[in-house]
Structure 1
Amino acid sequence: MAEKAAKKIDVTNKKASFEFFFLEKYSAGMVLTGTEIKSIRLNKFSMVDAYCFFINDELYVKNLNISKYDQGTHYNHEPLRDRKLLLKKKELKKLVNKLTDKGLTIIPTRLFINDGGLAKLDIALAKGKKLYDKRDSIKERDVSRERMRED
């Protein structure tokens, strides 16, 4: 029963695609506690304001809100704690070098549970959109909707 529910978890950060251009994408594992993965499997998380940052050449995600597990006891986790992301050293060095460019950031785009039952976070090296870029995105989306309605 738990395996079937675990495979259904696949949530994207729609706000991120509206606010940023994605330059490169990576898939990273996360260091989680027991109650955190249980909350994720119950789809009780939000990554609206989440972003990634480096501490001592290690990548962390901040503001990834994983709600407290209802049946958790005093072992329950903090909902907004910083969580370590697991990437290869080569990928981490590449991201550190790219972050020196002005206006680039790392944001989570998708949280899912893979076939092995592990929680994964897709992250993207992103550049912020200007207001006119956002208007273009809205215009393109409206045009594609009109085309779909005509067909």
Structure 2
Amino acid sequence: MAKEKERIKKHVNIVNRRASFEYQFLDKYTAGIMLKGTEIKSIREGKVNMQEGYCVFLNGELWLHNMHISTYTEGTYNNHEPTRARKLLLSKKELRKLEVNAQEQGVTIIPVRVFISDRGFAKVEIALARGKKLYDKRQDIKEKDVKREMDRSGY
């Protein structure tokens, strides 16, 4: 019983750190996500990988593809498929705005963070993002190094 309590976390906050390095975020949205029973249990255990995740519009609905939620260890034959497409839940106004902005060249929608809300629902923070060029990435690294040096010296 004690091991089960340790395995299931009360506060889940899984962040796609690679996304902030690869993309420049234009706008962020918080969306609900349609899950199966074993998927929410795996999320509460923290077994999510969003590195390859992206969002696509199909028939006016936003779908999340390639987000890997590991199979639940206690699951039976009813266990979920790890990389299945999951529907995201947003208001119509937000969906229309996202769909118009996503039509722009070089812009994509990516998952940034998965968390459990105060009410116990799984939420995904998605971002409208534009890919960074190599020189932008170098500039970011340079700024981080300067900031780190300033913090070390006591400024």
Name the TM tier (shorter chain): over 0.9
- Report the Cα distance in structure 2 between the residues aligned to 1:141 and 1:111, rounded to whole angstroms: 25
Secondary structure in 2 matching 1:6: coil
Residue type at the aligned position of 2:54: Y
TM-score, normalising length: structure 1: 0.95
Deviation at 1:5, TM superposition (A): 2.0
Structure 1 residue ranges without an equivalent (≥5): none
1:69 aligns with 2:72: yes
Q: CA RMSD in A?
A: 1.3
SS in 2 for 1:77: coil
Q: Look up the match of 1:104.
A: 107
Instruction: Give every structure 1 segment of 4 or more consecutive aligned residues whose post-TM-superposition deviation is greater than 2 Å.
Output: none
1:52 to 36, 45, 55: 55
Match of 2:119 among 86, 100, 116: 116
1:28-70 CA distance string (max 9 Å, x none): 0000000000000001110011010111010011110000000
**Unaligned 5+ runs, structure 2:** none
CA offset digits 1:72-123 (Å, max 9, x no partner) = 0011000000000000000000111111111000001111111111110000
Could you tell me which amino acid in structure 1 is paired with residue 97 of structure 2?
K
Helix, strand or coil at the partner of 2:9: helix
Instruction: Decide whether the 8 Å contact of 1:6 with 1:117 is kept in 2.
Output: no
Q: Distance in 1 between matches of 2:14 and 2:48?
A: 10
Q: Does 1:95 align with 2:98?
A: yes
Q: Percent identity?
A: 55
Corresponding letter in the other structure for 2:66: N
* 1:1-151 to 2 correspondences below 5 Å: 5-7=9-11, 9-151=12-154
CA distance in 2, matches of 1:34, 1:23: 33
Does the 8 A contact of 2:14 with 2:48 survive in 1? no
For the Cα contact (< 8 Å) 1:50–1:61, is it kept in 2?
yes
Q: 1:46, 1:64 within 8 Å by CA — same for their partners in 2?
A: yes
Q: Is the 8 A contact 2:109 2:129 kept in 1?
A: yes
Secondary structure in 2 matching 1:105 = strand
